[in-house]
Amino acid sequence: MEFRLLYITTAKVEEARRIGKALVDERLAACANIVPGLESIYRWQGEVVEDKEILLILKTRSELVEAAIAKVKELHSYTCPCIVALPILTGNPAYLDWLGAETREPAAAGQ
């Protein structure tokens, strides 16, 4: 079984909490971490923007990434939200077993 971290930025803590809870409730992610205090500098619509954002990190199975991305986009306030998947190459075997057990089977992801 392979796993991924989803790196997501949101506008507010409440939004990160709502998205994280929805994905954990639906077993598309085993865990959501909310990290306030992110400062972002990016180019958007021809302008350089400096903004305060919230970092949301989700842990999931690689097979659930597309379903998780679709759900985040459905719930997110941004027109083009930052949602990127990063591979988990290794880790505590007991933690990875837990992560697998707390996410739904990939065949059920589209239900």
8 A C-beta contact, residue 55 and residue 11: no
* Ramachandran region, residue 37 (left: φ > 0; alpha: ψ -120 to 50; beta: rest): left
> Is this prediction's pTM over 0.85?
yes
Strands annotated E in 11-82: 31-44, 47-61
Please state, rounded to an integer, the average pLDDT across all residues of the chain. Answer: 94
Closest CA to 20 of 54, 53, 52: 54
pLDDT in tens, 22-69: 999 999 999 999 999 999 999 999 999 999 999 999 999 999 999 999
Closest CA to 56 of 25, 80, 29, 74: 29
* Domains of the chain with bracketed CATH: 3-108 (3.30.70.120)
